[in-house]
Amino acid sequence: MTADTLVIADFGPRGPRDPRSPGGPRDRRGPRTPGPYRRLLATPGARAFTIGNLLARLPMGMFSVSAVVMIAGTRGSYALAGAVTAAGLGATAVVAPWIARLVDRYGQARIAVPATLLAALGSLALLLCVRLGAPAWTLFVSYAATATTPNLGGMSRARWAYLLDGDEKALHVANSFEQAADEACFMLGPVLAAFLCGTFFPEAGTLTGVTLLVTGALLFAAQRSTEPPPWTPPHPDPHPDPARTRSRPASPRTPLRTPALRPLLTICLAMGAVFGSMEVVTIGFADGQGHRAAAGVVLGLQAAGSCAAGLVYGAVHRQGSVEDRHVWCIAAMTALLTLPLLAAALTGSLLVLACALLVAGMATAPTMVTGMTLVQRHTPPGRLNEGMTLAVTGLLGGIACGSAAGGWTVEHVSPVAGYGVPVTAAAAALMIALVTHRVTHRPAESSNRFT
């Protein structure tokens, strides 16, 4: 080592530097830069509303399983149990956007609390009707009352959008975190419900779900400092300026009338068909091999892969526009969904299928994160909760259609052929995304070159 090298090593451009000082080349004791999720949760008030929201969202994966176990175990009819849960799903698709519109108009706390309490009463009424042997129609009415459950995941995303206004990078991390939370809740909820109903008594899952839902919703609503302000209509101007009146709408449009949002809702419908068909086909495949009880574990691996991928996706550096990433994520999802089809067709092994589902699930969360980001971006101001709830409604409708298509294919063709249904649904979503991208995105890029 030469003297010049020593000078370079010991003296920086600002003079001598002690290697043991903070920032020196040998310093390894300095504080580490917090990760993106630690920085996200360090936002004032974020941890409090996140804890309450997660408590309230966990039962979303418990209620349907608990209702099926409770009704089928008491009435001895899976057909009745399935019909009751399907009716509740249909009622949710109708009522949820209306509840979300009220949330946007009057605020989260004023609407979410009474809506949650009404949904909890519906679940308790279902429990009593099953327990007391009430007529079958009372089960449908009781479970339909649970449709007033507010979109808690959408309200949490709305809070992040309010707190992180203008910070696209932080909002990307928040959406990734929320999607991972969704996957975790729908992964743990059915397992917890099956454990409670099987270990204690059939109504244990419903009672626990109601307790968690009400407790979490009250805790979430109590965090008023992070609640987005409700939209208020502007006061009429006694002396309106015609130019300003034409340039500023008097009230936000309904999201369904937004041209850029309609294709996204159609994609959500196709994505729901992927999820619904995959669940039914996997249960049918496992049942055909005599391992129906293992179907929940296999589907849980798919959710686990999605949860892990969502957390990683939120932490990585993003490149390109959200529209481009959305198309690429759907393409990756379509490609990875061929793995369960190949595993079932070539090996027939449930273990190999579980590994294939674990890998295939890794494209789910990134696809949903970019999709929800676009929904937030294109939803008119003042209608954010309604826009995201419409996306969830599209998912629910797709789940119902996918479950029906997957069940028909399993019964009339084969469980192996059933895995072609989610691949077809994902391919349809990809085609819609490509057409939308070409029609709306490319012309905008070309016109920007001349501005």
- 74-89, pLDDT tens digit by residue? 887 767 877 888 788 7
**pLDDT level of residue 240 (50, 70, 90 thresholds):** low
| Tens digit of each residue's pLDDT (9 = 90 or more) over 128-152 | 999 898 999 999 999 999 999 998 9
Task: Report pLDDT for 387.
Answer: 82
The CATH fold assigned to 44-229 is: Growth Hormone; Chain: A; (1.20.1250)
Average pLDDT value for residue range 298-321: 81
Mean pLDDT of 323-350: 92
Query: Residue 135 burial (CB < 10 Å; 0-12/13-18/19+)?
Result: exposed
Q: Please, is 336 exposed, middle or buried when counting C-beta atoms within 10 Å of its C-beta (0-12, 13-18, 19+)?
A: buried
Query: Residue 250 above 50 pLDDT?
Result: no
Predicted TM-score of the model (pTM) = 0.72
- H helix count then E strand count, the chain: 21, 2
Note whether 294 and 394 are within 8 A (CB): no
Query: Using CA atoms in the order 10, 11, 16, 20, what is the torsion angle rounded to 10 degrees?
Result: -40
Farthest CA pair distance, the chain: 95
pLDDT band at residue 10 using 50, 70 and 90 as cut-offs: very low
pLDDT at 102 over 60: yes
Residue 53 and residue 149: Cα distance in Å, rounded?
A: 13
Q: What percent of the chain has pLDDT over 90?
A: 28
- The per-residue pLDDT for 442 is 53
Cα 140 from Cα 126, distance rounded (Å)? 8
Q: Kindly report the backbone phi and psi dihedral angles of residue 35, in degrees, each rounded to the nearest multiple of 5, phi listed first.
A: -70, 170
Q: What is the DSSP string of 78-129?
A: HHHHHHHHHHHHHHHHHHHHHHHHHHHHH-HHHHHHHHHHHHHHHHHHHHHH
Query: Given this model, what pLDDT does residue 21 score?
Result: 42
Cα distance between residue 414 and residue 272, in whole Å: 21
> Confidence band (pLDDT; 50, 70, 90) for 71?
confident
For residue 31, the model assigns a pLDDT of 57
Region(s) of the chain under CATH 1.20.1250.20: 44-229, 255-441
Domain 255-441 is in which class? mainly alpha
- Band (pLDDT 50/70/90 cuts) for residue 3 is very low
**How many other C-beta atoms lie within 10 A of the C-beta of residue 288?**
15
The pLDDT-based confidence of 451 (bands split at 50, 70, 90) is: very low
Q: Which residues contact 267 (CB under 8 A, 6 or more apart)?
A: 330, 371, 429, 432, 433
- State residue 213 phi and psi, 5-degree precision: -65, -50
Strand pairing partners for 152? none
For the segment 14-32, what is each residue's pLDDT rounded down to a tens digit?
344 444 444 444 445 555 6
